[in-house]
Structure 1
Amino acid sequence: MKLSVTFICLLATFSFIAKAENDPPKKKKRGSYLIELPASLNNSNDSAKTIAPLAAAIEVPFKPSIQVGAIVHMFASGEQTGFGAPGNDKTAKDWNKGFSVYRARVLVGGQLTKKASFFMETEIPSPIGIQSNGEKNVKVSPIILDAQLEYTFTNAFQLVAGMQLVSNNRNGLQGAAGLMANDFTYFQYPYNLFANSPLQGNFGRDLGINARGFLANDKLEYRLGVFTGRNVDGGAPLRTVGRVAYNFLDAEKDYYYAGTKLGNGKTLAWAAGFDAQANYYNLSTDVFFDHPLGNAGSITVNAAFQYMTGGTNIDSKYSFATLIPKQTVQFLELGYYFKKTKLQPWIRYENQDVSASAEQAGAVKPVNFDKNNSSSVMGGGLNYFFNGTGTNLRLSYTTRTYNVATATADEYTKKTFGQLWLQAQFFIF
């Protein structure tokens, strides 16, 4: 009797197994979708190859996303009196010392649809700490720095609308977190920095619409936009800014350019651009090279040249003749990143050479008008990257040289002022 019961149980078990092997596979649930897996996948060595196109064919519903970050630059500094604007004393021995929060930005970005995204950024309008007049400032209300909406029609055509960074050269379009030197250059957008500047900018930003796209396998990038520029009565002509860049090696698709890439990738980019409104125009060209060099690390070279003028038509309602004198600007940065020690020494040179016409200098051009308005910058430093552009420490010494009048009529002497920074950065986004 016991043997018969045992035999019946075994027979039932084998029948269940046989039925299971012959049954079609069950539907497996993934998220909110049911995926029918073919029976052939059970014994196939190419299961992964077969499943991949099936998974790719599944349409996942789009969900808007948001991202929040911050960038802070804080430093201890020493700066000689006259570094920002020279006086008439020849000694330049007095040093202003102190601690400052130079940048404190909150970044918010997000994907609104599959093709639409937005970006917003705040900024403190002046450093927290010792000001240029020697007074201490400890309370600063933030302002809106960037507020832009981007829509991608195709890879070759995108539109960016709102308050955005505007420049015809690379350094003027770099992100603050990716700088190689301690700060932006002095002359890359000298007339677009503040509301009282000739182009009435906001830390290099302006309001408008910018088209951008990539061609030739993403090697060729173009930017072309129209912006408000200088406008005091609502009837001013629009400001037009354009730029074309060709990448001979790796493509660059970030909206804000990097000032150094710390050996990540190989970049050789050449570009040319223009910036114009009414009788003002600015023509520029720039070259950027970032590439591994030797086993130790990588080299970064960033160079630019600009020619700009406010024109000579002083009768125009929106004349820039007396606001922006004719000038050329040369710029060079050179650095080397040691990947093992995470150190990067760098040097920088800038020169602003003014050669104004008589109309730009007034009814009668002063003898030394050009010298009064020309200056140059030399500097260098050492960066230590704890975590790339996320967290780093920068030590720099920069000098600025002016032509300063002497007691003798129409004679000038060069005067140099120094600035020492020890800057800490943290950035997350």
Structure 2
Amino acid sequence: MTFRLNKSILLAAVIAACSIPAYNANAGGTITFGEDKYVSVGFGMRGSFTGSNAPNGGTSDTNDFNLDSARLYLSGSVNKYIKGMLNTEKSGGNSTFQVIDGNVQIEVLPELTIWAGRFLSPSDRANLAGPYYSLGGGYWASVASRYGYNGGYIGRDDGVALVGTLLDGKLGYSFGAFEGNNAYKLSGLTLGTRTGSDELMYAGRLQYDFWDAEPGYYGTGNYLGAKDILAIGIAGRTQGGGAYSLTKTGDYNSYSVDFLLEKKDVGPGAISIEAAYYDYDNDDVFLSEQGKAYSAAAGYIFNEKVGWGQFQPFVRWQKFQADSSVDTKKYDLGTAYIIDGYNAQVSGFYSNTEVTASKDINAINVAMQFQF
């Protein structure tokens, strides 16, 4: 397979690298109304350029700028026990904003909070981290971790969950019940009408941190050298009648195991290694979304700044073995330039995507991310 790195790709890479202003932003601004009463507002965006060889049997290469994501953030607090958030998203080819998070969090005990509304249901680390808080940026694991792609409102669902920690914050747990009727909302699959009872989807996650404890429910895929992490998480979800097409209805079940290791002071920087395994089952309703998947990634962030930020080279790999006998494999190789954590960063990487009986897609990607 021959891949042409044409002049337009080089030009876009130079423009993206040279036109970044010196930001020192903190995501969100806060207005306080008294003790434990506040409203915080912010916004974020991810944009990219991709140059690739002709996909799907096309005759010409593609060169595309894209606004991958634009989000508005709003959160607030009634008192020290009751908080809430409202986040919207414009993503990909979607020309309108949609509500992805609209929920309240009620702290019953320091170790137990009730989440209710629309939010990320318990799942794997990649889905909980999302496109803004992962190694190298973007929702890179979407081939293997299919919750963001097939999870409804960008991985979100309507429901209620118990979220908390035990053992001095080392054991994190989340268990909940959700509407579950959006499992394949973004997949492009042909849905019919669910037959039988309208059953809820039940989802849960357990995670143990052997070294530093990780705060918060919405996770982080990489700590950029700020923590020593050794964590293992398991997650699962199930719904009777959760998979349905025009001709068939079946139960939906999935589970995953994920691992993250990050260690500071390894030579001149910090190393990170992550991996995950997935099993998806929908009673043979959609063979293209049923099967096993794997992902792995490694990164190294240098402590010393070069100009505004730090370099973090990375490699990422993932594979989905569908029961339709179609395998999808993808790997990325590149580097991120971390200007201000997850508030300001730029990445550039080469990617190769291979699908059974299809033409490989080779691409050069340049992406930027800013949050205010």
Fold match by TM threshold 0.5: yes
Quote the RMSD (CA, aligned, Å).
Answer: 2.2
Q: Does 2:257 correspond to 1:291?
A: no
Aligned with residue 75 of structure 1, among 48, 59, 64: 48
Residue identity matched to 1:101: L
C-alpha separation in 2, matches of 1:215 and 1:167: 17
Q: Does 2:369 correspond to 1:425?
A: yes
**1:93-120 deviation line (CA, Å, top 9, x unaligned):** 6321132221111111111221011111
Q: Does 2:105 correspond to 1:154?
A: no
> 3-state DSSP class of the match of 1:124?
strand
Equivalent residue for 2:349?
396
Residue 258 to residue 228, structure 1, CA distance change in 2 (3 Å): same
Quick check: 2:262–2:270 contact (8 Å CA) kept in 1?
A: yes
Cα distance, 1:176 vs structure 2? 3.0
Cα distance, 1:154 vs structure 2? 0.9
Q: Does 2:232 correspond to 1:270?
A: yes
Cα distance, 1:323 vs structure 2? 5.8
C-alpha separation in 1, matches of 2:105 and 2:143: 28
Cα distance, 1:71 vs structure 2? 1.0
C-alpha separation in 1, matches of 2:227 and 2:146: 31
Equivalences, count: 314
Residue identity matched to 1:353: Q
Output aligned runs, 1:23-422, within 5 Å.
Answer: 62-82=35-55, 87=56, 89=57, 94-127=60-93, 140-184=95-139, 185-190=141-146, 193=149, 201-230=152-181, 232=193, 235-278=197-240, 279-311=251-283, 321-322=285-286, 325-341=289-305, 342-354=310-322, 356=323, 369-370=324-325, 373-404=326-357, 415-422=359-366
> 3-state DSSP class of the match of 2:213?
coil
Residue identity matched to 1:186: S
Residue identity matched to 2:229: T
C-alpha separation in 1, matches of 2:59 and 2:271: 36
Quick check: 1:333–1:349 contact (8 Å CA) kept in 2?
A: yes
Structure 1 or 2: more strand by fraction: 2
Cα distance, 1:297 vs structure 2? 0.6
Equivalent residue for 1:318?
none
Residue 162 to residue 80, structure 1, CA distance change in 2 (3 Å): farther
C-alpha separation in 1, matches of 2:178 and 2:145: 15
**1:296-344 deviation line (CA, Å, top 9, x unaligned):** 11011111001111125xxxxxxxx336654110000110001113100
Equivalent residue for 2:11?
none
**Greater length-normalized contact order (CA 8 Å, ≥ 6 residues apart):** 2
Q: Between Structure 1 and Structure 2, whose CA radius of gyration is higher?
A: 1
Quick check: 1:182–1:396 contact (8 Å CA) kept in 2?
A: no
Residue 394 to residue 285, structure 1, CA distance change in 2 (3 Å): same
Cα distance, 1:170 vs structure 2? 0.7
C-alpha separation in 2, matches of 1:116 and 1:175: 24
Residue identity matched to 2:92: S
**1:214-256 deviation line (CA, Å, top 9, x unaligned):** 1111110111011111275694211111110000011111222
C-alpha separation in 2, matches of 1:163 and 1:326: 26
Cα distance, 1:127 vs structure 2? 4.3
Cα distance, 1:80 vs structure 2? 3.2
Give unmatched runs, 5+ long, in structure 1.
1-60, 129-139, 313-320, 357-368, 405-413
Residue 284 to residue 99, structure 1, CA distance change in 2 (3 Å): same
Residue 72 to residue 424, structure 1, CA distance change in 2 (3 Å): same
Quick check: 2:145–2:278 contact (8 Å CA) kept in 1?
A: no
Cα distance, 1:402 vs structure 2? 1.0
Residue identity matched to 1:68: V
Output aligned runs, 1:1-12, within 5 Å.
Answer: none
C-alpha separation in 2, matches of 1:387 and 1:340: 14
Cα distance, 1:345 vs structure 2? 0.4
Residue 74 to residue 426, structure 1, CA distance change in 2 (3 Å): same
Residue 183 to residue 303, structure 1, CA distance change in 2 (3 Å): same
Equivalent residue for 1:28?
none
**1:197-228 deviation line (CA, Å, top 9, x unaligned):** 5x6x1111111111111111111011101111
Quick check: 2:327–2:355 contact (8 Å CA) kept in 1?
A: yes
C-alpha separation in 2, matches of 1:64 and 1:299: 39
Residue 426 to residue 125, structure 1, CA distance change in 2 (3 Å): closer
C-alpha separation in 2, matches of 1:301 and 1:107: 30
Cα distance, 1:276 vs structure 2? 1.1
